[in-house]
Each structure stands twice: as structure tokens, then as C-alpha cells.
Amino acid sequence: AVAQVEALIQQLESGDLPLEDIFSQFEQAVTTLQQCDSYLTEKRQQVELLIETLE
């Protein structure tokens, strides 16, 4: 997912995309980052729960 976002950022920074493609690529990057954030939040909660069961 990180590589995908980095590729999207490179495309955005290149300045070669038409305006409507820029918005589409930006939206895709934001969606991917939100999915990553949700995944990491879920995994962090699982780790915290496991740590609590060890105490």
C-alpha cells in the first residue's frame, strides 16, 4: 500500500497529469491511506489486548 501511495504521489508531483486525473489520483491516495490507518488502529488494539492478558 505504501508503494502504491508513493507511486500516486510521484504522478501527482510530475505535473504531467490532467486536472481531472489529479483529483482522481489524490482521492485514491487518500482512500488508501485511510485504509492503512484503519488497519494499523485495529492491529494496535489487538496488541494492547494481548498485552493486557499477559499482565
| pLDDT at site 45 | 98
Would you state the cell numbers that stand for residue 43, as one nine-digit string?
Answer: 492491529
Residues 52 and 34: their CA atoms lie apart, in Å, by 27
| pLDDT at site 48 | 96
Domain carrying residue 49: 2-54
Residues 51 and 25: their CA atoms lie apart, in Å, by 39
**pLDDT by residue (tens digit) across 1-55?**
888 888 888 888 888 888 888 888 889 889 999 999 999 999 999 999 999 998 8
| pLDDT at site 5 | 83
Domain count, the chain: 1
Give pTM, 2 decimals.
0.70
Query: Is the distance from CB of 8 to CB of 28 less than 8 angstroms?
Result: yes
